[in-house]
Amino acid sequence: MIDSLLLNAISWAREAGAVHLRYFRGNQLEIKSKFNDSDIVTAADKAAEKLIIDHIRSTYPHHSILSEESGVENHDSEYRWVIDPLDGTTNFSQGLPQFCVSIGIEHNGVTEIGVVYAAYLNELFHVIRGRGAYMNGEPVKVSGKTRLDQCVVATGFPVDKDRNPDNNVDNLTRVLPHVRGMRRLGSAAIDLCYVGAGFLDGYWELNLHQWDVSAGLLFVEEAGGSYTHFRTDRNVSVLAGTPSIHDQLLPMLSTEAATK
């Protein structure tokens, strides 16, 4: 069952990636705002989501689904698919290549399979719990760095950054002087997979959602990394990294809301 689920998830992620590429840098994006102008959806998000959900409904009609644009579809099932049909929509809408589809598959509430596919970059990440993490079919591991001053780390900022002072700037200010470099790639799923592959040494972000991290957190874990939910009051707020760097970054991050 697990192996067939993985193969289908990979196949459908590749199909969704092909949808992304048909729209990318085109003039039919139909960009619309959701929460605010920092939180947008495009025709590609919706088309990729429909493709994946149609496949799931046809192949696994009793499986539950949680997807970014369509929300929750509950069935009496041990399995749930957690889907971000286009993670990095802002990048995508600007013509920047850091975007992907992310698919996590839970069994009895635990993520067992993850697939992240960045079509433009031709990077396919997949993971099964207990079997390691893979990029384009090759096993990968976290970087293993232990010195923070030699590390490149990534972060992101919540969509309500314009009206909420709890916007991660305080954490950025504390961490930035201590690292070799700071990056803001704009896709949580890619950030997490890059930690697992050793391209980034650490990553944190607050106010994410389960579809952003379902596949990526399992990827980090199976690649030998560590992660912590460092906030409980801002949706999904996670820190991930190679174990030593994770442990050095954690005390630098605020565990409660910043105020003016």
Closest CA relative to residue 111, chosen from 255, 213, 182, 208: 213
Specify the DSSP element, H or E, that contains 238. Answer: strand 236-241
**Contact indicator for 168, 154 with CB cutoff of 8 Å:** no
Q: Is 212 annotated as a binding residue?
A: yes
228 Cβ neighbours under 8 A, 6+ residues apart: 238, 239, 246, 250
**Contact indicator for 241, 197 with CB cutoff of 8 Å:** no
Q: Is 5 annotated as a binding residue?
A: no
Quote the strand ranges of 108-235, DSSP E.
110-118, 123-128, 133-135, 138-140, 152-155, 181-183, 202-208, 226-231
Q: Is 84 annotated as a binding residue?
A: yes
Q: Is 87 annotated as a binding residue?
A: yes
The DSSP call for residue 159 is T
Binding-site positions: 68, 84, 86-87, 212
Binding-site positions for Mg(2+): 68, 84, 86-87, 212
